[in-house]
Amino acid sequence: MKELVRNYAWPVACGLLVALLIIQRYPHWIGLPTGGNVAIQMAPEVVPAAGPASYSDAVQRAAPAVANIFTSKEVTTPEGAAAGASRNPTLRDYSDSLPAPARRQSSLGSAVILSSDGYLLTNNHVIAGADEILVALQDGREALAQLIGTDPETDLAVLKIDLPNLPAITISASDTRPHRTGDVVMAIGNPFGLGQTVTMGIISATGRNQLGLNTYEDFIQTDAAINQGNSGGALIDAHGNLIGINTAIFSQSGGSQGIGFAIPARLAAEVMKAIITNGRVIRGWLGVEVQPLTAEVAESFRLAPNEGIVITGLYRDGPAWQAGLQPGDVILAIDDEPVSSGRNAMNQVARAQPGQSVKMKVMRGGKPMTFEAEVGVRPNFRP
């Protein structure tokens, strides 16, 4: 019996092994499902990009060009005078006739040196109303700044200081490599007056608008911590190049909640050059008030929603008024560029030079029409 098992055990084992291999390779031979209709897409092997172990080099490159801003202005406090009179019986009967005392109100912020000639960019709200602006550099030097000009519609201001050997930050070449969501960024500023501080995060989104912060909005959103005093500071990339001017945070507590906004550096630099050259930013203007094309209105015009914008009002004697446009007209395109929102149209016209002619494709009463308007200079609607 043992001799029989010894003679047949090995052939049986080999046969079972061959049978299993055949079943696995050709299951349809015995009626098993093949799974050939199930498409499983395997991701190719990706070698992750190696990031630096430290961003110190980037910070050391950019930080000397980020300055602390200390502003002050004189304010009157009649409430304080009345309170002081109630505490002093000898003044109680004369409090109404006494002048209100003045006091100095201070605030903090940040600024970025963009030119070795001494031009700095900061936020308009940082220096608004200030009668004295002190700039403190990282190397310990201080200087009183001259206000060159402001652009409230982008919340930017240009300052000038007179110091030798000023470090200037470099602007990221976003034309060759656009900033992308997920890119590492760092915010440099003077939060709460602690002194220069660096925080790190990523770009959370780009092109943020309709936040109600500025007239012209194209914000970079980041989760790098931005707090009070960071306004006007630098948002830099992993190489130390400037990509934005820190401007605002979304917060319910007053502290950073990981939602901060920065003005793109390219836009900020264009505003600075315009202010230095002309004293203000000159933008194109048509003089129309518009609203989005709702589904109901679009249906009445046999258009798709967001296929244009509806004119709701015109400034008398403005460029659009003189061109013959009327309330109720639907602007479909400006210079052959389709119009999908009022903000995009406003930005497009703002980039045009005053005196330049633009053609507008318009729908009026269900009929397509074409108008030509000469772009005017946008008035300053904000204080």
At 105-115, the pLDDT tens digits run: 677 899 999 99
Cβ pair 326, 332 in contact under 8 A: no
Given pLDDT bands bounded at 50, 70 and 90, which one contains residue 344?
confident
Query: In this model, does residue 131 exceed pLDDT 60?
Result: yes
Q: How far apart are CA 343 and CA 210, in angstroms?
A: 8
Which has the higher per-residue pLDDT, 95 or 354? 354
Which has the higher per-residue pLDDT, 175 or 137? 137
Which has the higher per-residue pLDDT, 187 or 28? 187
pLDDT of residue 179: 80
pLDDT of residue 250: 66
Which residue do the tokens 């009070």 mark?
228
- The DSSP line for 195-206 is -SEEEEEEEEEE
Return the number of other C-beta atoms located less than 10 Å from residue 294's C-beta: 12
**Sequence-ordered alpha helix ranges (H) in the chain:** 2-25, 56-62, 78-87, 124-127, 265-278, 295-300, 319-323, 342-351
Tokens of 116: 């070795």
Q: Report residue 46: phi and psi, to 5°.
A: -115, 130
Catalytic residue at 115?
no
Catalytic residue at 97?
no
Q: How far apart are CA 230 and CA 197, in angstroms?
A: 9
Given pLDDT bands bounded at 50, 70 and 90, which one contains residue 83?
very low
Given pLDDT bands bounded at 50, 70 and 90, which one contains residue 381?
low
Given pLDDT bands bounded at 50, 70 and 90, which one contains residue 219?
confident
pLDDT of residue 229: 83
**What value does the mean pLDDT of the chain take?**
79
The top-scoring range by mean pLDDT among 87-96, 217-226, 318-327 is: 318-327
pLDDT of residue 4: 53
Catalytic residue at 95?
no
Query: In this model, does residue 24 exceed pLDDT 50?
Result: yes
Query: In this model, does residue 245 exceed pLDDT 90?
Result: yes
**Out of 146-160, 242-256, 284-298, 329-343, which region has the weakest mean confidence (pLDDT)?**
242-256
Query: In this model, does residue 281 exceed pLDDT 60?
Result: yes
Strand partners, 108: 70
Query: In this model, does residue 87 exceed pLDDT 70?
Result: no
Query: In this model, does residue 15 exceed pLDDT 70?
Result: no
Given pLDDT bands bounded at 50, 70 and 90, which one contains residue 192?
confident
Which has the higher per-residue pLDDT, 214 or 291? 291
Catalytic-role residue among 107, 110, 231, 256: 231
Tokens of 44: 């190719």
Q: H-helix or E-strand containing 143? A: strand 142-144
Q: What is the mean pLDDT of residues 26-47?
A: 50
Query: In this model, does residue 45 exceed pLDDT 60?
Result: no
Q: How far apart are CA 236 and CA 44, in angstroms?
A: 32
Tokens of 262: 């920065």
Q: What is the mean pLDDT of residues 60-72?
A: 92
Percent of the chain with pLDDT over 70: 72
Query: In this model, does residue 1 exceed pLDDT 60?
Result: no
Percent of the chain with pLDDT over 90: 28
Q: H-helix or E-strand containing 228? A: none
Q: How far apart are CA 145 and CA 136, in angstroms?
A: 10
Q: What is the largest CA-CA distance in the chain?
A: 130
pLDDT of residue 92: 37
**Sequence-ordered alpha helix ranges (H) in 294-341:** 295-300, 319-323
Q: What is the mean pLDDT of residues 287-307?
A: 80
pLDDT tens per residue across span 196-208: 889 999 999 887 7
Catalytic-role residue among 155, 183, 223, 237: 155
Given pLDDT bands bounded at 50, 70 and 90, which one contains residue 137?
very high
Catalytic-role residue among 110, 125, 151, 172: 125
Which residue do the tokens 């002081």 mark?
84
Query: In this model, does residue 323 exceed pLDDT 50?
Result: yes
pLDDT of residue 40: 47
Q: How far apart are CA 263 and CA 269, in angstroms?
A: 10
Query: What is the identity of the amino acid at 365?
Result: G
Dihedral, 317, 320, 325, 329 alpha carbons, nearest 10: -130
Given pLDDT bands bounded at 50, 70 and 90, which one contains residue 50?
low
Cα 24 from chain centre: 58
Sequence-distant (≥ 6) Cβ neighbours of residue 369 within 8 angstroms: 361, 362, 363
pLDDT of residue 18: 64
pLDDT of residue 289: 87
